[in-house]
Amino acid sequence: MVVKLVFYIYSAEMLANLGVPWVILGHSERRALLNETNEFVGDKVAYALSQGLKVIACVGETLEQREAGTTMEVVAAQTKAIAGNYFKTKLASTVCQKSKILFYL
């Protein structure tokens, strides 16, 4: 089986309407090049979940952060921002039992 990945920009609603089950959010290139903050990624994750999408949330450190020994603090802050927004949306009561977030390190 050959899988071809094509990247376009779609809204969460468009992806849900197309039947796309998963999205990848918070990739390191977007964080670095587009200055996406932890909080912004958390907002995107919460919104994608609210639209019925499942999320692969990318977390990780830069080389400089790894060499400085701050990996755990960086990843914890990224994860905390995602989890905080997830529970603020009140999805926890309806979605928590079937996890829709997969963290990619």
Q: Is residue 2 part of a domain?
A: no
The 10 Å CB-count burial string (b at 16+, else e) for 22-59 is ebebbbeebbeeeebebebbbbbbbbbbeeebbbbbbb
| Residue 52 lies in domain | 12-104
Model pLDDT, residue 41: 92
Per-residue pLDDT of the chain (105 residues; tens, 9 = 90+): 665 555 556 788 888 888 888 989 999 888 888 899 999 999 989 888 888 898 899 999 999 999 999 999 999 999 999 888 766 655 444 444 444 555 554
| pTM (2 d.p.) | 0.72
The CATH number covering residue 43 comes to 3.20.20.70
Find the angle CA(82)-CA(11)-CA(103) to the nearest 5 degrees.
30
Q: Is residue 1 part of a domain?
A: no
> Edge-to-edge strands of the sheet including 101-104?
22-25, 54-58, 101-104
Model pLDDT, residue 4: 53
Model pLDDT, residue 89: 59
CA dist 69 and 11 (Å) reads 36
Q: Is residue 4 part of a domain?
A: no
